[in-house]
């Protein structure tokens, strides 16, 4: 039987073009989707879609379940009469080539508040019924999320362990009082989620019509300052006041000489075992209602994770602590059926990690930027690829391939890549993309920056750097017919068109 082969594009919605200071889920998203499908891509990979917190990172969200309200398309709200064109003046004056989160967020909040009030005044019975149905379906996470965000707002944005003790510890009477006093704010937050998922589901339905699957992203760990940790403190290794005892990260590696101290709390796996991994089952269930494929970030953490004492300032001093990955995925599979998951198996990978991935039929990842300058058995070299892999030129954490070629590697590595191809390298982003498409791996994916050929000034994220990340945006000029037609031709040539 012929094996399925697909090509994919990595492009987060915040990076989409558009006039309102950030990529949104409206007309420009649908137009980009049509370009993606026309270019022959059958997978659109996005980063986590949650509401971002400190540092604007999609890997540090206020909820592992909620959507990012800053992605809501303002144009649709105007078309529905909830906003006017004059409301957009400040947004339209924001930069178009990157996201200025500091300027964007207060304006988006102001406009969403105005749109909600108008909707609340005018909503028909049918519109309210649809909203109530949404609230009911998502109640297992939505109730805690809206309450968390409301309290956070009344506490001037402070981290939840700095709230008054009764709110920090979820005293029932204190929470009841907040619900009574802040009913309108809670309702607005839930309405924003209703609008986000309405717009996202419309985009996903359009993608299905065009034969494009969405690949989402689920970080193994959640942010400490999140509704998830606040509402489920017993599922994490916290002290009596809610402070983390240990935090997550990775030891020194390619990205950092002192390791990466992520700061996420570590799971109390014993409690998860007691509950039959209910929280994880719900998380994956809701995620798979939103996307078709789901990449599990830092998959090796399900075998053992690097635990760092919370008081340590770097990730150098930590230890690998076992995790019950097999029990977890068995429980989730028993309840949800076959799991369309992708394992991000980068870093210190042991035979146990590979065995867990293969046991649950999860493709792993190969990064071509990591393939050169070593031994011939490097698993990232194209001749060592296997079908159950997703091959990338680079990821959101890497430099762009052109930036990598110019900035990060030496002549030995450049020579190794040139010798492998038996020709000189002038356009490394194109060479690596062709290698990815030629690979036997099931999926070949490239960041948009590599398809266009952008340099280091256009990378999405620099791990370990707390500022200046996540803001890159693609230009309208990049989504042109020339690039689209070229991509379709080479995707077809290497058997990944799927037609």
Residues belonging to the active site: 297, 344, 397
Q: Are 100 and 468 in contact (CB under 8 A)?
A: no
User: CA 343 to CA 346: how far, in whole Å?
Assistant: 9
Phi, psi of 474 (to 5 degrees): -80, 145
- Report residue 494 as tokens: 């290497």
Sign of CA dihedral 298, 302, 306, 310: positive
| Residue 448 CB partners (closer than 8 Å, separation 6+) | 9, 10, 11, 15, 474, 478
- Report residue 101 as tokens: 């989160």
Q: Are 463 and 470 in contact (CB under 8 A)?
A: no
Let me know how many helices (H) and strands (E) the chain has, helices first: 19, 12
Beta strands in 50-153 (DSSP E): none
Sign of CA dihedral 307, 309, 311, 312: negative
Nearest Cα neighbor of 480 from 5, 110, 38, 15 is: 38
The backbone region for 58, taken as left when phi is positive above 0, alpha when psi lies in -120 to 50, beta otherwise, is alpha
User: CA 58 to CA 145: how far, in whole Å?
Assistant: 16
Residue whose tokens read 């954490």:
397
Q: Are 141 and 63 in contact (CB under 8 A)?
A: yes
């Amino acid at each position: 039987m012929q094996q399925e082969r697909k090509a994919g594009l990595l492009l987060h919605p915040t990076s989409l073009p558009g006039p309102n200071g950030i990529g949104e889920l409206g007309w420009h998203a649908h137009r980009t989707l049509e370009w993606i499908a026309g270019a022959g891509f059958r997978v659109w990979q996005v980063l986590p879609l949650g509401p971002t917190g400190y540092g604007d990172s999609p890997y540090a969200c206020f909820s592992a379940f909620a959507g990012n309200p800053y992605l809501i398309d303002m144009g649709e709200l105007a078309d529905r009469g909830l906003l006017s064109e004059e409301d957009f003046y400040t947004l339209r004056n924001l930069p178009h080539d990157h996201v200025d989160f500091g300027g964007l967020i207060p304006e988006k909040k102001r406009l969403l508040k105005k749109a909600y009030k108008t909707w609340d005044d005018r909503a028909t019975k049918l519109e309210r019924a649809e909203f109530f149905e949404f609230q009911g379906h998502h109640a297992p996470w939505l109730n805690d999320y809206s309450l968390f965000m409301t309290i956070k707002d009344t506490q001037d944005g402070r981290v939840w362990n700095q709230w008054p003790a009764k709110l920090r510890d979820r005293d029932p009477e204190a929470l009841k009082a907040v619900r009574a006093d802040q009913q309108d704010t809670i309702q607005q937050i839930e309405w924003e989620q209703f609008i986000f998922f309405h717009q996202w589901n419309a985009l996903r339905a359009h993608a299905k019509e065009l034969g494009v699957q969405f690949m989402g992203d689920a970080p193994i760990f959640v942010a400490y300052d999140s509704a998830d940790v606040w509402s489920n403190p017993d599922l994490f290794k916290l002290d009596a006041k809610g402070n983390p005892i240990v935090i997550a990260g990775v030891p020194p590696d390619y990205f950092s000489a002192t390791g990466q101290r992520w700061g996420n709390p570590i799971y109390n796996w014993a409690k998860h075992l007691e509950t039959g991994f209910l929280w994880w089952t719900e998380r994956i269930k809701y995620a798979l209602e939103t996307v078709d494929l789901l990449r599990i970030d830092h998959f090796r953490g399900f075998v053992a994770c690097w635990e760092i004492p919370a008081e340590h300032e770097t990730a150098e001093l930590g230890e690998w602590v076992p995790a019950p990955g097999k029990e977890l995925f068995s429980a989730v599979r028993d309840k949800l059926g076959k799991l369309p998951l992708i394992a991000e198996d980068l870093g210190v990978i042991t035979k146990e990690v590979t065995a867990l991935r293969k046991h649950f039929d999860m493709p792993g990842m190969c990064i071509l930027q990591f393939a050169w300058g070593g031994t011939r058995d490097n698993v990232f070299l194209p001749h060592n690829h296997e079908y159950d892999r997703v091959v990338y030129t680079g990821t959101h954490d890497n430099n762009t391939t052109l930036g990598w070629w110019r900035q990060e590697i030496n002549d030995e590595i450049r020579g190794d890549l040139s010798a492998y191809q038996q020709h000189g390298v002038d356009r490394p982003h194109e060479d690596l993309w062709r290698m990815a498409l030629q690979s036997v791996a099931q999926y070949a994916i490239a960041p948009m920056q590599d398809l266009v050929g952008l340099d280091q000034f256009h990378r999405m994220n620099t791990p370990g750097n707390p500022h200046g990340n996540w803001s890159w945006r693609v230009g309208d000029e990049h989504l042109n017919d020339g690039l689209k037609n070229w991509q379709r031709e080479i995707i077809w040539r290497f058997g990944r068109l799927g037609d």
